[in-house]
Amino acid sequence: MFIGHFAPAFVAAAVSPERPRLGLMFVAAQLVDWAFFIFSIIGVEHMRIVDPPASVMSPIDFYHMPYTHSLIGTTIFAAALLGVVAVQRRDVKLGALAGLVVLSHWLLDWLVHVPDLTLDGTPPKLGLGLWDMPWVAIPLELGLTLGAFAFYLRRTRGPAGPPAILIGVMLLLQAISWFGPHPESAGVFFAMQALLAFGIMTALATWVGENRWFRKRGNLAFALQ
């Protein structure tokens, strides 16, 4: 899953206890993937291109990622971000939301990945394997992302341009991921491309969050929190 990971980020930003922190939630949504691609560059975790492809939708075999994509590893990343946000922002509720968004990453990956996830870094390997069923995986990812994006827009107010640009870029990057040519290798260049895509979307999400505020019902139609 790619942009579908940002669905919980939109929801969490829409219900956060202060001005929408969409950039923070985008970091949370892909925190373990940020770590995975960095770890792959330095040789701590590993992926490879395999033939036949690992799944119908991806030729990449994520064969060694015990620290970032085990349930225990993801929980540790979630707890770490919770602590950082709670201390830095002095807001435990905001930290808890960010931590839940981190945890959602493993659950969403479990839906689509062929078995390559673990509970504690050791077998058995887990994954429902929807990447082998594109007619299910593609509508699921689009539905989650667009539904959460619509929820975020309904809960917030601000200029229409920034969120339109954000969702447009997200859909473009997703289309490239789905329908563009497969990478010839899963080396440093591929990892850097993934990190660049995460960085672009997170920067745009930060921009969007800085230009939106919560709607409030009542005599005063809208208020800034």
For residue 19, being part of any structural domain is answered with yes
Confidence of residue 221 (pLDDT cuts 50, 70, 90): very low
Number of domains, the chain: 1
pLDDT digits (tens, 9 = 90+) for 64-88: 999 999 999 999 999 999 999 999 9
Domain containing 178: what range? 3-214
Q: What share of the chain is helix, strand, coil (3-state, %, to 5)?
A: 60, 10, 30
The DSSP line for 153-175 is HHHEES-SHHHHHHHHHHHHHHH
pLDDT of 207: 97
pLDDT digits (tens, 9 = 90+) for 178-199: 999 988 899 999 999 999 999 9
For residue 222, being part of any structural domain is answered with no
Is the pTM higher than 0.85?
yes
For residue 94, being part of any structural domain is answered with yes
pLDDT digits (tens, 9 = 90+) for 18-44: 777 999 999 999 999 999 999 999 999
- C-alpha 92/C-alpha 89 separation (Å) is 8
For residue 223, being part of any structural domain is answered with no
For residue 220, being part of any structural domain is answered with no
Lowest mean pLDDT among 74-88, 102-116, 153-167, 206-220: 206-220
Structure-token pair, residue 124? 């058995």
Residue predicted with more confidence, 131 or 16: 131
Q: Is 214 a residue whose pLDDT tops 90?
A: no
- C-alpha 201/C-alpha 33 separation (Å) is 14
Contacts of 189 (CB under 8 A, 6+ apart): none
For residue 55, being part of any structural domain is answered with yes
- C-alpha 127/C-alpha 79 separation (Å) is 23
For residue 224, being part of any structural domain is answered with no
Question: What residues are paired with 157 via a beta bridge?
Answer: 213
For residue 25, being part of any structural domain is answered with yes
- C-alpha 91/C-alpha 152 separation (Å) is 21
